[in-house]
Amino acid sequence: MLLRSKNHASRSLMGFLCLYGIGMVVSHPVSAQSPALPLKDLSAFREPGQSWSITSDASAKLDNPHVLDAVAGTGVLFNMPDKKHPGKDLFSTEEYGDVDIEFDYMMAPESNSGIYLQGRYEIQLLDSWQNTKVPKPGDNGGIYQRWDDKRPDGQQGYDGHAPRVNASRAPGLWQHMKISFLAPKFDASGKKIANARMLLVELNGVTIHENVELEGPTRGSIGGGDEKATGPIRFQGDHGAVAFRNIEIRKPSQATAGGRENNRFADPILLDAPTNTLLRSFMDVKNNKRVVHAISVGTPEKVHYTYDLDKGMVAQVWRGEFLDVTPMWHERGNGCSRPRGAVQFLGEPYFTLSKLASPQAAWMTDTTGSGYRPKGYVLDEHDLPTFRYQVYGTSVSDAVRVLSEGRGVRRELTVATPVDGLYAKLAEGSTIETPSKDLYIIDGKSYYLQLEDAGGEKPVIREAGATKELIIPVHGKLSYSILF
């Protein structure tokens, strides 16, 4: 069931526990052999071109198109084509038939790359971050078109497959892709008896292709458009800067290759957001921590977020479709909804504001002594909420709005009469990097935080056990953007 929502569906339907999963897919079994490429050198590849190298990390500047910067070391496959180092595609030494491949990748701003199964069937890799239109086969995660110069003008490209949704992240952030591929099959005489298939392609945790039959190689394939039982993994290197890490390549068991199992509701209940839409539900966030008083806000720009009313926190943001509400509305329901997009968690649930005796004092873990009181929200003329609460005797308003071109969200906190020692926690994660003034990269290059109006205060990066926290004193207004 596809439910076209009405605004403020939020005002009912709470429940108890999430009892069942949605859309679980089991791909074909794999061997026990470790599949990870060590990436200490380029020995796993044939005749690598000058643009390819091994590094320990990569980074990008959002205002510097087509450029990635390298960090010395090992573990990352890095491609930076330029005049001195012309780009060239990279081919694995080993060849594969049926294969599961999983990897992280990073795009430079405005960059273009791809990964070819058997060197013939391309999944496009592209900086599609700011694309708010319906995705096309040439967008990030698309199965590229086939090509025939003999066809009429404008029709040479055909049989491409667009991703179901744009689940891309910003350039300079690590993205994650999983591919489960079935090679074409041939009889003893060499005649093709079964086409290749993309059994499953996931981008940043979102299924973007499922059981797609490929009648022939995509444009730019090796071998002049022929098809074979095996071929190399091919990383496109002549179109732009890109980096890869954590590359795992698995050959399925020959006896059971292609075996899959679906465990789905026959008629899932999906909530879209063709207009600005609010839904109140339970929501499981980082490390399966449950937000029991959550409001999810969906927008036509396909950038959405969940707000934790109990802590005054933006708990998660995501790009894609809005919500799967099957667990909440199927039969008796249980109160849970789930994002239908590439989710970026913003930390385990924590209070946004806390009163500290010093910048190193422990953050508030409960409301004792704080006088915290949620006061709901008010809607603007576009039906977008500004959340309100009281804490430490002062009133707080918290407005979250989607940025232009779907780049992320902007948050503005207004504290009426702040007490001394009041701080806001902007972010937490395993790492917090500062590539430029007022810009931070959070949690192993998972998302950016752009500080906009700090009221003249300077943020503090501090240790909190194994986690780093970005906090700042608050004296009135505070605004920043989350780019992901």
Tokens (6 digits) for 56: 């320990």
Q: Which one has a higher pLDDT value, 79 or 260?
A: 79
CB 116 within 8 A of CB 104: no
CB 310 within 8 A of CB 370: no
Residue 322, helix vs strand vs coil: strand
What distance in Å separates the CA atoms of residue 267 and residue 113, rounded to the nearest whole number?
Answer: 37
Residue 156: how many other CB atoms lie within 10 Å: 14
pLDDT reported for residue 15: 35
Read off the pLDDT of each residue in 353-364 and give the average, rounded to a whole number: 97
pLDDT reported for residue 332: 84
Which pTM was predicted?
0.89
Run of H or E residues at 176 = strand 175-182
In terms of C-beta distances under 8 Å and separation of at least 24 residues, what long-range contacts does 214-218 make, across chains too?
Answer: 214/121, 214/143, 215/146, 215/159, 216/146, 216/159, 217/120, 217/121, 217/146, 218/116, 218/120, 218/121, 218/122, 218/143, 218/144, 218/145, 218/146, 218/147, 218/160
What distance in Å separates the CA atoms of residue 291 and residue 308, rounded to the nearest whole number?
Answer: 6
Q: Is the pLDDT of residue 177 over 50?
A: yes
At 216-259, the pLDDT tens digits run 999 999 988 899 999 999 999 999 999 999 999 999 864 344 44
Give φ, ψ of 99 to 5 degrees.
-155, 145
The model's confidence at residue 155, banded by pLDDT at 50, 70 and 90, is confident
pLDDT reported for residue 225: 84
* Closest C-alpha among 186, 204, 208 to residue 195: 186
Q: Is the pLDDT of residue 77 over 90?
A: yes
CB 161 within 8 A of CB 146: no
pLDDT reported for residue 138: 95
At 401-450, the pLDDT tens digits run 999 999 999 999 999 999 999 999 999 999 999 999 999 999 999 999 99
Read off the pLDDT of each residue in 457-472 and give the average, rounded to a whole number: 96
pLDDT reported for residue 256: 42
CB 96 within 8 A of CB 230: yes
Residue 426's Cβ-side half-sphere holds a number of Cα atoms within 13 Å equal to: 32
Residue 309 has what DSSP assignment? T
pLDDT above 90 covers what percent of the chain? 84
Tokens (6 digits) for 142: 């698309």
pLDDT reported for residue 157: 83
Read off the pLDDT of each residue in 91-112 and give the average, rounded to a whole number: 97
pLDDT reported for residue 3: 55
Residue 232's Cβ-side half-sphere holds a number of Cα atoms within 13 Å equal to: 16
Read off the pLDDT of each residue in 361-369 and give the average, rounded to a whole number: 96
- The pLDDT mean for the chain works out to 91
Distances (CA, A) of 234 to 56, 171, 263, 397: 21, 21, 33, 51
Residue 406 has what DSSP assignment? G
The model's confidence at residue 158, banded by pLDDT at 50, 70 and 90, is confident
Residue 216: how many other CB atoms lie within 10 Å: 18
Residue 429, helix vs strand vs coil: strand
Number of H helices, E strands in the chain: 1, 37
At 378-403, the pLDDT tens digits run 999 999 999 999 999 999 999 999 99
The model's confidence at residue 188, banded by pLDDT at 50, 70 and 90, is very high
Read off the pLDDT of each residue in 131-142 and give the average, rounded to a whole number: 94
* Closest C-alpha among 302, 295, 320, 20 to residue 164: 320
Residue 346, helix vs strand vs coil: coil
Q: Is the pLDDT of residue 160 over 90?
A: yes
Q: Is the pLDDT of residue 13 over 80?
A: no
pLDDT reported for residue 267: 85
The model's confidence at residue 126, banded by pLDDT at 50, 70 and 90, is very high
Residue 9 has what DSSP assignment? G
Run of H or E residues at 329 = helix 326-329
At 300-356, the pLDDT tens digits run 999 999 999 999 999 999 999 999 999 999 988 889 999 999 999 999 999 999 999
* Closest C-alpha among 368, 419, 367, 365 to residue 395: 419
Q: Name 400's bridge partners.
A: 411
pLDDT reported for residue 180: 98
Read off the pLDDT of each residue in 123-140 and give the average, rounded to a whole number: 95
Between the two ends of the chain, the Cα-to-Cα distance in Å is 30
The model's confidence at residue 12, banded by pLDDT at 50, 70 and 90, is very low
The model's confidence at residue 156, banded by pLDDT at 50, 70 and 90, is confident
Tokens (6 digits) for 161: 């497959």
What distance in Å separates the CA atoms of residue 469 and residue 460, rounded to the nearest whole number?
Answer: 8
